[in-house]
Amino acid sequence: MTDRFAGIFPIVNTTFDEHGDLDVPSQLSLVNFLIDCGAHGIALFGNASEGYALSESEKAHLLPAIIKEVRGRIPVFVSTGHTGTRVAVELSKAAEAAGADGLMILPPYFLKPSAKDLVRYYTAISQVVSIPIMIQDAPLLTAVNIGAAQMAQMAREGRNVRYVKVEAPPTALKVTEVKDAAGDSLVIFGGLNGQFLIEELQRGARGTMPGSDMTDMFVRVWNLYEAGKLAEARAEFNQYLPLIRYELQPGLGVSTMKHNLKDGGIIKSAAVRPPTRALDSLGLEELQEIRRGLRLAALGAERNAGNHQSH
């Protein structure tokens, strides 16, 4: 099986104005910025998108606007998991109809599913769509553990279950387990803000899905790694570990990403929606210190042509 989708697929932060309402111009500015940074694809309504704080009508409003703005330049994955199988099926069909290139699907997590329930859930969605499905293995968020053997079974029974996003720490070990169990039937991406990107790639992952603010750095590391320049890839990556680590604070990472994007003029406001937490004044000082000297397009470092100041 070929990894038709591979590389750096940032989770697109959802942009709000100071009142907490959707800011569509900033959203489209951010999408163009990510494309300019060299993103190989994007993913919508994930955890870094505050997807948990968006209504279905808001998602239905944003999705076609973003698809239209992307104009097929890069693939778009959409998060369509739900606590109910029937709803997940309907959301997945709607996302495909709107133009999604792939689906990123959390397991149902309200009623803890059995192994059979999980397989039925992913298989039910696979039966009604024709685009690839990515299993999102995120037990820190869902408290649902998906074993490597289960994932391999899902790939066997669901013809469109073709990707997995591994966010179960230690992620590098889980990548190896999935690779051993599923072989080439599943393409593996990493998550958790790319903190173990290089180790995951060395164990067979073919991409990662970080937040939006460090996309150009992740693309540089990916390009170096793909060119066989491991030492250079690691040296580049290691400079950004303090910021990656800072953004992994539960509930604060999204605010950090948005402040970086706002300070670079890409989005208008760093507003987040409760219960997502905003950085306090000391947090903003810490962030300034951590990012000093980092070469990031989000912070105004040289980037490709494209006017991101207009919004």
Catalytic residue list: 165
Compute the distance between CA of residue 134 and CA of residue 118 in angstroms, rounded to an integer: 14
If we measure between CA atoms, which residue out of 190, 159, 171, 173 comes closest to residue 1? 159
Compute the distance between CA of residue 7 and CA of residue 221 in angstroms, rounded to an integer: 10
Label residue 177 exposed, middle or buried (CB < 10 Å: 0-12, 13-18, 19+).
middle
CB 67 within 8 Å of CB 27: no
- Kindly state the greatest CA–CA separation across the chain: 51
Token digits for 36?
A: 């300019």
Q: Find the radius of gyration of the CA atoms of the chain.
A: 18
Token digits for 122?
A: 């992913």
Residue 18 exposure: Cα atoms within 13 Å on the Cβ side: 1
Compute the distance between CA of residue 242 and CA of residue 61 in angstroms, rounded to an integer: 36
If we measure between CA atoms, which residue out of 34, 1, 11 comes closest to residue 167? 11
Compute the distance between CA of residue 125 and CA of residue 119 in angstroms, rounded to an integer: 10
If we measure between CA atoms, which residue out of 75, 60, 94, 59 comes closest to residue 4? 75
Compute the distance between CA of residue 165 and CA of residue 207 in angstroms, rounded to an integer: 9
